[in-house]
Amino acid sequence: MSEVIDPDVAAREARAAHRSRQLLDAAARLMEKTGSEAVSMQALAAEAGVSVGLIYRYFGSKDAVLLAVITDVLDQFEVQVPEAIAAAGTDPVRRVAAAFVAYCRVIDSRRHAALLTYRESNALDAQGRRRIKELEVATMQPLRQAIADGIEDGRIIAPHPDLVAYNLLLLAHAWALKHWYFERTLDFAGYTRAQLALSLRSLIAPQFVEEYADLLDG
């Protein structure tokens, strides 16, 4: 029997999700511009177009806002990367490619927040920093596993799947870190395609290269 969804509850949850997204996006923009220390709750409320009281309904402190902004990127990785890998089928190289594109898409949609991961993580308390590290390791695992599967299958040549996974993750983050530079000559699709092709050329075993001509045409 299918579960009956209360329309009033669904509406409240939708409003809450919208408000939370509104606050996180506003916080990411402000904190990326001026640093988290310079952002007051009043300034955040003005940027988001809400009351200060509403912010405190969702987040207990400015530190909680910062942590939520940073973990939002990792939460998106946790959802979107495994979905992309599953949709790519069973071929390990295409699963790696799909994972990389998914990482890049999340970074593109959360550029301000991604920058805060590098600039503001030290502003978090020890528990917050530990949470970030745990999520980073967890959200990298699907990509690492796809790489390990490719190595086992003989299609990928690499002695260290962790190193490959982190290199690809850093390339995804580079779209946020150096967007001001890359956007002069590359749009998002062009950047993703070029970085993927450059990486895969060094990873795919020579005898399988022709099978992935579409991925290597960057």
pLDDT tier, 212 (very low <50, low <70, confident <90, very high otherwise): very high
Question: Average per-residue pLDDT in the chain?
Answer: 90
Using CB atoms within 10 Å of the CB of residue 38, give its burial: 0 to 12 exposed, 13 to 18 middle, 19+ buried. exposed
Higher pLDDT, 170 or 33: 170
- Predicted pLDDT of residue 31: 87
Q: What is the pLDDT of residues 86-112, one digit of tens each?
A: 999 999 999 999 999 999 999 999 998
d(CA 163, CA 86): 22
- Predicted pLDDT of residue 9: 53
- Predicted pLDDT of residue 6: 60
Residue 2 has pLDDT above 60, yes or no: no
- Predicted pLDDT of residue 22: 85
Tell me the CATH architecture of domain 62-216.
Orthogonal Bundle (1.10)
- Predicted pLDDT of residue 3: 61
Residue 160 has pLDDT above 60, yes or no: yes
Q: Name which of 113, 130, 103 is nearest 177 in CA terms.
A: 113
- Predicted pLDDT of residue 124: 87
Would you list the domain boundaries of the chain? 62-216
Q: What is the mean pLDDT of residues 128-145?
A: 94
Query: Which pair of structure tokens corresponds to residue 191?
Result: 């950047």
pLDDT tier, 163 (very low <50, low <70, confident <90, very high otherwise): very high
- Predicted pLDDT of residue 101: 98
DSSP assignment of the chain equals: -PPPPPHHHHHHHHHHHHHHHHHHHHHHHHHHHH-GGG--HHHHHHHHTS-HHHHHHH-SSHHHHHHHHHHHHHHHHHHHHHHHHHHT-S-HHHHHHHHHHHHHHHHHHTHHHHHHHHHTGGGS-HHHHHHHHHHHHHHHHHHHHHHHHHHHHTSB--S-HHHHHHHHHHHHHHHHHTHHHHTTT--HHHHHHHHHHHHHHTTB-GGGGGGGHHHH--
Residue 75 has pLDDT above 80, yes or no: yes
- Predicted pLDDT of residue 121: 85
- Predicted pLDDT of residue 118: 85
Q: What is the pLDDT of residues 8-31, one digit of tens each?
A: 455 556 566 677 888 888 888 888
d(CA 200, CA 60): 44
Q: What is the mean pLDDT of residues 184-213?
A: 96
